[in-house]
Amino acid sequence: MMVPNRQIIIKVKLAACGYQENDILSKKFFVLYGLCEQQLSKQPHYDFGLRNILSVLRTAGASKRANPDKSEVYLMMRTLRDMNMSKYVAEDVPLFLSLIEDLFPGLKAERAQFPDVSKALEKVAIERGLQLHQNWLNKCIQLYETYLVRHGIMLVGPSGSGKTAIMEVLAGALTELGTKHVIWRMNPKAITAPQMFGRMDPATGDWTDGIFAVLWRRAAKNKNQNTWIVLDGPVDAIWIENLNTVLDDNKVLTLANGDRILMTPAMKAMFEPENLNNASPATVSRAGIIYVSDTELGWEPVVKSWLAKRDQAQATGLQPCFDKYVSRMLEFIRVNLRPVVYNETACTVGTLLTLLSATLQKYESTHEQLTETKLEHLFLYCLTWSLGGLLSEKERPAFDTELRSIAGANLPKRESENDTVFEYLVDESTGNWRHWSNYVPEWTYPVTEERPKFSQPVIPTLDSVRYERLLALVHSANGASMLVGGPGTAKTTVVNQFLGKFNSEQMVSKTITFSSLTSPQIFQMAIEGAVEKRQGRTYGPPGGKRMCVFVDDISMPAINEWGDQVTNEIVRQLLEQGGMYGLEKPIGDMKFVVDTCYLAAMNTPGGGKNDVPNRLKRQFAIFNVPLPSVAAINGIFGKLVEGRFSPDLFTDAVVQAARRLVPMTITLWNKTQAKMLPTPAKFHYLFNMRELSKVFQGVILAERDRFSNKLPPGGQKPYGSTVTSPEGYLLGLWVHECRRVFADKLVNTEDRAWVDKTIVDLCRQEFAPELCKQVDEPLYFVDFLRDPVVDDETGEVLSAHPSHYEAVPGGLKEIRTRVEALQRRFNEESKNLKLNLVLFTDALLHLMRISRLMAMARGSGLLVGVGGSGKQSLARLAAYIGGAYTFQITITKTYNVTNLFEDIKALYKIAGFKGQPVCFLFTDAEVKDESFLEYINQILMTGEVAGLLPKDELDMIINDIRPIMKQAAPGVPDTWDNLYSFFLNRVRDNLHVMLCFSPVGDKFSRRAQQFPGLINGCTIDWFLPWPEEALTSVSGKFIDEFKMACTEEAKSSLKVMMAHVHVYVTAACKEYFEKFRRHVYVTPKSYLSFIQGYKELYSRKWAYTQELAVSIQAGLQKMVEAKEDVNKMKAELAIKNQELAAASKEAEALLKSISESTAVAEKEKQKVTVIVDQVSKKAAEIGAVKDDAEKDLSAAKPALDEALSALNSITPKDIVSLKALKSPPDIVKRIFDAVLLLRYWPINKVSWQENKGVMVLEGSYDVSVKMMGDMGFLTSLLNFPKEQINDETVELLQPYFAAPDFNYEAARKASGNVAGLCNWAAAMCKYHEVAKVVEPKIAALRAAEAELKIATKEKNAAEERMAKVQARLDEMQAQFDAAMKQKQLLEEDAAQCQRRMDSAAALLHALAGEESRWTLQSKEFDAQTQRLTGDCAVASAFVSYLGPFNKEFRELLMTRDFYGDCIKLGVPVTQNIEVQPNR
């Protein structure tokens, strides 16, 4: 492609604009842009191409026309400067000005002045409470200049730089100048492309405009105002490219349905992105760019505007504080510290102003005058949590030190060495600093409840109290807050505590949890489902209340290929504009959501965790939530344990042991965190506060009857294992729970052994050796040991599945017995599904872990293991044991989100209305769509699924749950919110989600990262590979009941050998990977397949061997029978030969008789043949004559048919019309004369007359009229006797025919259809001429036909005589054939008997040597059957396991492991066995 010569283009354009110095100016222009491209920074929004050049040249032409007396160099320099300054970042402006000065030395030019616009800008800015900051006003003028020459404008810059205000103030200023300007905003990334531009219904073909298309149409039709459509969102190369025809000179919006909507002069397409990183050069060149750097405005004007709205005394007191602290602390943080989340400076200062507004609000309402000291203390408190609110726990001391160096005595004195200013707040009444610990309320454990709901009590801590206060401050200022912190830092709990303190009569809350697949539509559905229409386009919470929306995990939505979080774009739109565009008709109307405030929580960015867009962060006051300190954790769980094991109910030894559990757990937690670090293979090694909580949830779940000191003598139940004391029982319970929480999620035995060792070491450090010895053997806790509770009087079952979490006295043996009985009961009650589980030790342990989760409120599990580990079966059995309703979705080809919703609704109703535990079994094979996991994530995190319950269904549920809540919680008012909360909590308590996932591949890790609820909302149980003992048990389960032809010793060895095979192959997989770097996976499903394959192969081979043995025995028996049969056949053959001789004689006699009769028949046949030939010859001659006559007749037939056709076209009406004529045309008269002659009617005397130079006969029409008067005239012509025509008549007609006009065409012109008589007359004459020739032939034909009739009669009589002779002959032939057939059968039977006898004799001779070998082989079948035990095992192992390996490893495993193990264990096997395909 050729590169255009820009300098020549510039020169020509300048000359066209009237510039005389176009040569030198074009060169300066060209050089300037070349230097800019080389020396300025590379920004995606910089454009020095032809479109930019043309826009500059247009402005230069306008300047020349407006200032014809000014210097052309001056005008060009000013245009180049002013048209480009707007798009440069602040760092490039000095360099650009230097380049301008170098190219135009010594030339100073003022900016183009727009005095009216400038005055209007200042007026509007002051009205809006904004500062007349010169740099910012310059950007307003630059936008105006671009507005004059561009119809597409991009206002680009970081968040908080004043872009929106620039646009709105300029629109207001232009409105002040007389023309109304309005701004319509929409976020193109908050919706999909079809929702933006429009979509075509594939079924009906109907077109529906999108939001942008609707706004564009409205703006194009509106003639009374100037409309700026602002696309306020990130730019990507998809939706912006769809607007190329809008931004270029076409100014047309082209839609997919073919509509083209022209852009009017009163419209502007404006864009407000943060950057143009994803915009193509083509897009950048089409729009005017105004870049607003963060330094253009800074934070000072924002503060001044805020102070201007404050009380004068407050403003005077606060201004020195801003001057003293803000700049220095911002610079210190920028240089020395690293906030956990990046935020723009202006946004951070905005948080400071929000906190100050909220803090000072109380004093404004009471009109209290604040002292300078108190005001500074309040300022420092707000400064700490705004500028330092995003600092991590490690960096807060540095912030504190720097702030103390500035504030001095205005900061509190440290009460402890580790205290910082963050641990203090200002007392509202005195204005003095007080430690946060003074504000932590006391919490009392509900001693009366045996099993308190662990999810409900919330223990306040120093962190929760101070963050609640911050949330309350921001909320009181109508602001939005966001908490940032790592997992398990209680962000959600703090927010829920804050929300729980609202008056439910005035405020409701809505929690929405984001995941990787949360889409804008899901968020919009969730918001729309929580509000109702109020007035017009205004929506709000139901009942006129206010609502607080909490968006948890707001940073989780996936970042698309352009680096955008589209879900958070609609969140920003809702916070910034207060509404969302409706996706249903009427499209294009904004739905404004009022009386709503917003809270959010997110994980700390980094390490694979997303950040949120800067423009969204600007809407929040953001605070970092660090991990709780050790003291705080001790405070939380210490109070819990202290309340659970109070001294008045338990012995001192139990109480003292309980007090040590919390620090021991924290120590274990810290050590595990330090040792078990997450890796790509162990991504779930996350140990946070949730793990601590789960440990003590299990401790509190246990029954207290084993610890109580009030039991009567002998009333103490056995503890189990080696435990002999209540404190030992408590320690055993703690060890059990720690293993469940910390060890069960680990992926290998080494890691679990380390955790076990650490637990044992901690016990030895904290307790006496005697007590530690009691827990050397593990203590197992389950909740299904007790039998159903039955009413003694009525026999009614009060509780079919009583849940009492307690130790098993008999250990694993008792558990196995109990579970086997329950499994048998399950199989008896289940009609379809039967469980035949082998309850080896590992399976029992996993069952107890799942059962423990089912016993806990909101207990959900993530069961991770390879296929065939038993996850689903154990979960089903555990659910049955716990009395839970088990449900698993059934995937079909049409199963979709709607079907999933229906299934979830059914489960919600069972769990919510019936209060029955529900086990929702969900496997990775059922993830038909990744969005399924989005809804599972919502169930685990909040229980609220967006779009699950429509408004009408939700109202029905609220009505149905009312009597249930009145019975369960009679003291709670039955308001809508309380009823919904009760239903949701009841569902969450009873719905246990059991996820069964495989760790193979990267899907599991990716899903866990995308959907945090899978990890955070579940307790992980990692299924390790089955141990050898388990493998042997499983093989025994199947082999013991399998019928085999081997000894019991061989069968026992076979079970062990099968387990060894699995172990050998598992070890070989690692060896194979180390050698060839190729993964091979072996799962329990492979082992089960191996066993099943063995059983099938053994059965088949055993049956084959038995069949072979039977066959050989049968062969020997057949040889004996064959000898006997040969002797019988010799006797039969002699009899058959005698019968054959008799039949031969009979056939010879019959043959002689037939020969004589045949001679007589042949003579008669010759006579008949002569007669037939004569008759046939005569018939052929007659046929020839007939054909000749018919041929002659057919020559006249076309003319005759044509004449008849013409005659048929004549109607009586035509005749009547002709009769009415007094003097018809002459041709008509002559035609009728011809008819008269043919019919032998009289005609007038012949006379001649001249007609057109030719002499013709004169017609006699009088007689013709009489003839036409006959009613049957036409019929008589149709039936005219053609045979009566004679030669005289034809001769008389010739003079008529000789006339040149006597033809059909001439006659038709004269008389219409009557002209057909002309053709008829000619055809009659022609027929007569033909008939004269044909008539003699017809007479001869009739005579010949008469002769033929007589000859035919003679022929028929001769043929009849011949038929009788032939019938007799056929009868005799049939008798002869039957005799010959009988003779043939006898010959064949004798020959067959001879052959059979010969074959049998030959076979006996050939098998003479085989008889002895078969006899020997029949005796070896027993040994071969014994060897099938090992042969089938080796072959099945090869088929089930060795397919993925190469030849080297296959041979190694076959010979070294499989065959060698058979020899070692004594399993009968064939030496050097080979496995070959079955051909």
In the predicted model, is pLDDT for residue 1204 greater than 70?
Answer: no
* Residue 441: other Cβ atoms inside 10 A: 7
In the predicted model, is pLDDT for residue 1478 greater than 60?
Answer: no
Tokens 């955070």: give the residue: 1016
Is 292 within 8 Å of 143 (Cβ atoms)?
no
Tokens 């949330």: give the residue: 471
Average pLDDT (692-718) is 72
| Tokens at 1202, concatenated | 């044509």
671 versus 705: which is more confidently predicted? 671
pLDDT at res. 755 = 94
Tokens 């009614």: give the residue: 796
In what helix (H) or strand (E) does residue 309 lie, and over which residues does it extend? none
Is 112 within 8 Å of 78 (Cβ atoms)?
yes
DSSP 1358-1396: HHHHHHHHHHHHHHHHHHHHHHHHHHHHHHHHHHHHHHH
pLDDT at res. 712 = 46
In the predicted model, is pLDDT for residue 1196 greater than 60?
Answer: no
- As a whole number of Å, the end-to-end CA separation of the chain is 66
pLDDT at res. 455 = 61
pLDDT confidence bin for 1206, thresholds 50/70/90: low
Task: Give the lowest-confidence range in 181-185, 863-867, 881-885, 1416-1420.
Answer: 1416-1420
Average pLDDT (975-991) is 88
Average pLDDT (788-812) is 84
* 1264-1291 pLDDT tens trace: 777 777 777 777 777 778 777 887 888 8
Angle of CA points 889, 895, 897, to nearest 5°? 90
pLDDT at res. 907 = 94
Helices 72-85, 50-66: axis angle to 10 degrees equals: 130
DSSP 686-745: ---HHHHHHHHHHHHHB-STTTBS-PPTT-PPP--TT--SHHHHHHHHHHHHHIIIIITT
Q: How far apart (Å, rounded) are the C-alpha atoms in residues 700 and 719?
A: 17
* 268-310 pLDDT tens trace: 999 999 888 888 888 888 888 899 988 888 889 999 999 998 8
pLDDT at res. 87 = 84
pTM above 0.75, yes or no: no
| Tokens at 1229, concatenated | 């008269």
pLDDT confidence bin for 851, thresholds 50/70/90: very high
Average pLDDT (954-976) is 87
Q: How far apart (Å, rounded) are the C-alpha atoms in residues 836 and 216?
A: 67
Tokens 């899901």: give the residue: 522
In the predicted model, is pLDDT for residue 354 greater than 90?
Answer: yes
| Tokens at 1208, concatenated | 């048929």
pLDDT confidence bin for 380, thresholds 50/70/90: very high
* 770-785 pLDDT tens trace: 888 888 888 899 988 8
| Tokens at 1447, concatenated | 């030849």
Chain-centroid distance of CA 297 in Å reads: 46
* 925-949 pLDDT tens trace: 899 888 889 889 889 988 888 788 8
CA dihedral 683, 688, 690, 693 (to 10 degrees): 140
DSSP-derived 3-state class of residue 569: helix
In the predicted model, is pLDDT for residue 1172 greater than 50?
Answer: yes
Is 421 within 8 Å of 411 (Cβ atoms)?
yes
In the predicted model, is pLDDT for residue 675 greater than 60?
Answer: yes
In sign, the C-alpha dihedral spanning 1209, 1211, 1213, 1215 is positive
Q: How far apart (Å, rounded) are the C-alpha atoms in residues 114 and 685?
A: 65
pLDDT confidence bin for 877, thresholds 50/70/90: very high
Tell me the β-bridge partners of 260. Answer: 254
3-state DSSP: the chain helix, strand, coil percent, rounded to 5? 60, 10, 30
Mean per-residue pLDDT of the chain? 84
* Residue 1298: other Cβ atoms inside 10 A: 12
Identity of the amino acid at 1403: L
| Tokens at 746, concatenated | 């680990």
Is 532 within 8 Å of 549 (Cβ atoms)?
no
Indicate the DSSP class of residue 56: H
DSSP-derived 3-state class of residue 580: strand
Burial class (CB in 10 A: 0-12, 13-18, 19+), 523: buried
Task: Give the lowest-confidence range in 48-52, 735-739, 1379-1383, 1475-1479.
Answer: 1475-1479
pLDDT at res. 1 = 56
pLDDT at res. 713 = 47
| Among candidate residues 745, 663, 666, 739, the one with its CA nearest the CA of residue 698 | 739
CA dihedral 1206, 1211, 1213, 1219 (to 10 degrees): 50
In what helix (H) or strand (E) does residue 997 lie, and over which residues does it extend? strand 991-997
pLDDT at res. 1479 = 44
Helices 72-85, 93-103: axis angle to 10 degrees equals: 170
Is 679 within 8 Å of 726 (Cβ atoms)?
no
450 versus 836: which is more confidently predicted? 836
Is 612 within 8 Å of 565 (Cβ atoms)?
yes
Average pLDDT (1175-1190) is 70
* 1339-1377 pLDDT tens trace: 666 676 777 777 777 777 777 777 777 777 777 777 777
